[in-house]
Amino acid sequence: MSDDAKLWSKTISDVNEEVLVNLETPHPAYYIALGGAVFALLIGILFVCLHFTFGLGLWNFRPPVYWAVDITNFVFWVGIGHAGTLISAILFLFRAKWRNSVNRSAEAMTIFAVISAAVFPLIHMGRPWHGAIWALPLPNTNNLWINFRSPLVWDVFAISTYFTTSLLFWYMGLVPDLASIRDRVTGFKRLVYGFMSFGWRGTAKQWWHYEAGYGFLAALATPLVLSVHSVVSWDFAMSIQPGWHTTIFPPYFVAGAILSGCAMVYNLLVPVRYMFKLEKFILPEHLESCLRLTLLTSTIVFYAYSLEFFVAWYSGNPYEWALFAKRATGPYAFYFWVMMACNCWFPLAFWSKKVRENIVLSYVICFAVNIGMWFERYNIIVSSLVEDFIPARWGHFEPGLWEVVITVGSFGLFMTFYLVFCKFFPIVSLSEIKLIMPKPMSPKSLKAGGDHHHG
């Protein structure tokens, strides 16, 4: 018996039946979670309505800090999305089997995280129905084109490409599963799922082109995921602001993004696995692999934080060093040490197998990592911005009520989308999980000890 067979208590014949039936009857906790998410979303919508009515003055702006919590949320949510692409694309190319049970959930997380991120630059424009057009490569009223040398324009291109690519990658992965649902339901539902699955029939030729295309999508998404957060980091690194003007930012941001994303995947998978009774398909081994990835990226982030401090001192630039020393000991020390503890120290517990196998403890650590990663972005943005080039303007910034409200609202938006998705679409990829389960071989072949046809 192969290792795969020992791992699984289910066969491919159980996949469609059990995953799809459980979608129809989730645990009551699902509805409580959905209610909470919708409530948070409504709070966010209320703020956005007030914001459009009364203007940007509602935000707690303290010049020179004009973008603090909104851009923190933007970077946080874009970062969350990264683990989705990492799991779906990079781990696909590395043939990591465990990704097949969690990739759908991670990809959905990417899409909804990028939507949550996109909200912030849009509402920050004050009147987005006028403002959004500035980001597009269109001439303005003076026939002047946008500046293609600006990192903000690069960011628009990067995020738009990232969203489109993630959406298409995710949807193409869904097509065979939508066909599986179509073949189980009747009437109007069958029509809807049939339309959404493009009439997928599952012929060998379709699978052949599908697999080739899926590989190319993964190959294209891999450099994209590494580039997008690099471009986001250039929003900061291309400036001359002390604390931002650092060449380490691109790899540091990418590692941080993947760290927060992996922790979020864990935070989402554990309750969803319970609500939809997917314990037989999302195995403890798969959850543990996710934690190993969290540990790996946490150590990279730890290294980046340390190197950043070292270079600030070693460069001999007094402004740079003063800012970093102040981050650790000044008025923002609380944010800094929470960031260090949550992102660097707590995840070290994942070296222990006992901790990795303890779902409750791992869940708490992953939750802490997400808090830490939010604080990291806040720390980078605010502590640098608050002391710009005119000392008379120096001051202190703390988030106000509305900053907290819109942050809660963005979580509501994300969770509402995610939970609704879980209810109507298979959160475990039906066709891909079958690939990592024992192959349906004839008794004659199994008796002969052959687990594989043609080797």
Partner 1 sequence: MAKPSADQGIIGIYSYLDTFCHAIEKVRDRKDFIGYESFSPTSYHEIEHSSGFGPSPVRYFTLTGALTGVCVGFGLAILCDWDWPIVVGGKTPGIYSLPAYVVLGFECMILLGVIGTILGMLVMGRIPNPKRAVLDVRTTDDRFAIFLPGAQVDSPQAQFLRECGAEEVRST
Integer-rounded Cα radius of gyration of the chain? 24
Check residue 134 for interaction with partner 1 (CB under 8 A). no
Give CA–CA dist 309/328, Å, rounded.
Answer: 10
User: Looking up tokens 């903000």, which residue turns up?
Assistant: 152
Q: Which of 100, 66, 93, 79 has its CA nearest to residue 297? A: 79
Check residue 217 for interaction with partner 1 (CB under 8 A). yes
Is 231 strand, coil or helix?
Answer: helix
Contact 191, 443 (CB under 8 A): no
Check residue 316 for interaction with partner 1 (CB under 8 A). no
Check residue 184 for interaction with partner 1 (CB under 8 A). yes
CB of 450 to partner 1, least distance (A): 7
Choices 126-134, 161-169, 335-343, 385-393; region in contact with partner 1 by CB under 8 A = 161-169
Torsion angle defined by CA atoms of residues 154, 156, 157 and 160, in that order, rounded to the nearest 10 degrees: 150
Q: Which of 5, 122, 224, 361 binds partner 1 (CB under 8 A)?
A: 224
CB of 140 to partner 1, least distance (A): 10
CB of 76 to partner 1, least distance (A): 22
Q: Which of 5, 7, 12, 348 binds partner 1 (CB under 8 A)?
A: 12
Per CB under 8 A, which of residues 376..435 are in contact with partner 1? 431-432, 434-435
Q: Which of 351, 327, 382 has its CA nearest to residue 61? A: 382
Per CB under 8 A, which of residues 16..55 are in contact with partner 1? 16-17
Check residue 207 for interaction with partner 1 (CB under 8 A). yes
Give CA–CA dist 377/363, Å, rounded.
Answer: 22
Q: Which of 220, 325, 328, 401 binds partner 1 (CB under 8 A)?
A: 220
Which two tokens mark 363?
Answer: 């869940």
Check residue 337 for interaction with partner 1 (CB under 8 A). no
Single-letter amino acid code for the residue at 380: I
Is 62 strand, coil or helix?
Answer: strand
Check residue 2 for interaction with partner 1 (CB under 8 A). no
Q: 206-219 b/e with 16+ CB inside 10 Å = b? A: eeeebeeebeebbe
Which two tokens mark 354?
Answer: 């006992």
Check residue 182 for interaction with partner 1 (CB under 8 A). yes
- CA–CA distance from 214 to each of 92, 97, 151, 196, 309 (Å)? 9, 16, 30, 18, 41
Q: Which of 67, 210, 309, 367 binds partner 1 (CB under 8 A)?
A: 210
Contact 77, 113 (CB under 8 A): yes
CB-nearer residue toward partner 1: 246 or 431: 431
Give CA–CA dist 234/23, Å, rounded.
Answer: 42
Check residue 440 for interaction with partner 1 (CB under 8 A). yes
366 Cβ contact list (under 8 Å, min separation 6): 262, 263, 264, 266, 267, 291, 294
Check residue 206 for interaction with partner 1 (CB under 8 A). yes
Check residue 169 for interaction with partner 1 (CB under 8 A). yes
Choices 33-41, 208-216, 294-302, 326-334; region in contact with partner 1 by CB under 8 A = 208-216
The angle formed by the CA atoms of residues 358, 360 and 364, to the nearest 5 degrees, is: 115
CB-nearer residue toward partner 1: 211 or 285: 211
Per CB under 8 A, which of residues 248..277 are in contact with partner 1? none
127 Cβ contact list (under 8 Å, min separation 6): 52
Give CA–CA dist 218/411, Å, rounded.
Answer: 28
CB-nearer residue toward partner 1: 14 or 357: 14
Q: Which of 25, 53, 141, 147 binds partner 1 (CB under 8 A)?
A: 147
Binding site for partner 1 (CB under 8 A): 11-13, 15-17, 137, 139, 143-149, 153-154, 157-158, 160-161, 164-165, 168-169, 172, 176, 179-180, 182-184, 198-214, 216-217, 220-221, 223-224, 227, 231, 431-432, 434-435, 439-442, 445, 450, 452-454
